[in-house]
Amino acid sequence: MEFETVIGLEVHCELKTQSKIFCTCRNKFTAEPNRHCCPVCNGYPGVLPVLNKRAVEYTIMAGLALNCDIAKLSRFDRKHYFYPDLSKSYQTSQLDYPLCKRGRVDITVDGKRKSVRINRIHLEEDAGKLVHSEWGNGTLVDYNRAAVPLIEIVTEPDINSADEAVAFLESIKTILKYTGVSDCKMEEGSLRCDVNLSIRPKGSTGFGVRTEMKNLNSFRAVHRSILYEGKRHAEVLRSGGELVQETRRWDDEQGVSLSMRTKEDAIDYKYFPDPDLMPLVLTDEYIESLRAHIPELPEKRKERYVSEYGLPEYDADVLTSDKAVADFFDSCAKDYDNRKALSNWVMSDVLRKIKESGLGEDEPIPVSPANFVKLLKLYDGKVISQNAARMVLDEIWQNDRDPAEVVEKMGLKQITDEGELLKMVKEIIQSNPGPVADYKAGNKKALAFFVGQIMKATKGKANPQKVNELLVKELES
Ligand SMILES: [Zn+2]
């Protein structure tokens, strides 16, 4: 029997606010444990939370960017459970009245486009982090992350493969980063994901028994765990066994999922409305004022790069995947008409420099668009060779200044003066009768020898096209 995989994702994403969700502690990823804590985020008795307005705004912006309806009335609830990383013994979250509902994200896999529906996005707080000590059997707790604002994005079961799941996550990551609400760094834990998976006979519409895999912290882990779990389900069913609805833990090192708890011992969270926080009531004007802050999103931008700049889809895709690169490209394109040439330079040389210099995603590019365009124009005007252009780029990447100055200082100007080049051409021909005879005998390869000699004599600064022209003219005359 052929099976089809049915997947729903729960994506947790930390918001990039200055402070935590209910106190003024800094929201910052820090190596030093328990540096950013206070009685509020440590859950001392009697303290009162004050909701961070920016966290609400960021959640609404995420919702708008992901095509959600924004609820004008939402509410916070307490989700009770005990675990050492949660000193309050309840997590402030949203159960029945989330801030955003009914969204949609479009993905493309193997050239096929599809929509993944979003059921809801709610705002909640993150928990602390357990650190399993290397020097003993103990476990330590770091509360820096406790009460960092977190959104949970819950999809409908619209995803049918590991590739689609990763495409969805990549899309969410790019959109949220574009919107500026999260840096989505999986390695720092600011983007995490749970996978709900079941299988069903191909073509049927019902749902099989579902398992949930918790806290996957890389795209690779998501991909591998889906392939593994789908295969495991199919094997159990094919061998006549029965699947159990359960929560499983993905062990990335061993590449297996392991049972954590079954439905029987599922936790009862005893949710109730948080009495310390007022319901959140929003006006249309307020929501619309936030919509104005949503930038042009990657999908739209990609379309514009194809229609307005005439770029191939591949180029549009590469250039828009990082907002800093796309912003740089747009600024350059204002003063540079050959967009395909610009795209080639950015995709090869700017991306190479970003990689070489270890610049993080979304970090601004150290060369100003104005100086970069000046550099390309020097190359187009044959003032410098392509190699020289790369050398100048290395220089202005370190120290952003007028590339013409760098060309002058480094003596990179191409020799294009016809008189000067002709003199050299004549000398080379005169002192190499052998290759001249070869050329005249029909061995056109001898030309390369002459070009090489002139390049050597000028340390690569002669304009190769001009040199070629002059050589042919002289040799044939
Ligand atoms: Zn605090």
Distance 33 CA to ligand 1 centre (A): 14
Given this structure, which CATH class describes domain 418-476?
Answer: mainly alpha
Distance 220 CA to ligand 1 centre (A): 34
Give me the pLDDT at residue 133, please: 76
Give me the pLDDT at residue 219, please: 92
Give me the pLDDT at residue 400, please: 94
Distance 63 CA to ligand 1 centre (A): 26
Give me the pLDDT at residue 195, please: 96
pLDDT tens over the chain, length 477 residues:
789 999 999 999 999 999 999 999 999 887 789 999 999 999 999 999 999 999 999 999 999 999 999 999 999 999 999 999 999 999 999 999 999 999 999 999 998 999 999 999 999 999 999 988 777 778 899 999 999 999 999 999 999 999 999 999 999 999 999 999 998 887 777 889 999 999 999 888 889 999 999 878 899 999 999 999 999 999 999 999 999 999 999 998 899 999 988 877 777 899 999 999 999 999 999 999 999 999 999 999 999 999 999 999 999 999 998 889 999 999 999 999 999 999 999 999 999 999 998 887 767 899 999 999 999 999 998 888 888 899 999 999 999 999 999 988 888 888 877 888 888 888 888 888 888 888 888 887 888 888 888 888 887 788 888 888 888 888 887
Distance 47 CA to ligand 1 centre (A): 11
Distance 61 CA to ligand 1 centre (A): 24
Distance 12 CA to ligand 1 centre (A): 21
Q: Which residues surround ligand 1, an ion (CB under 5 A)?
A: 23, 25, 38, 40-41
Q: What are the boundaries of each domain within the chain?
A: 10-194+246-289, 298-410, 418-476
The two structure tokens encoding residue 178: 């574009």
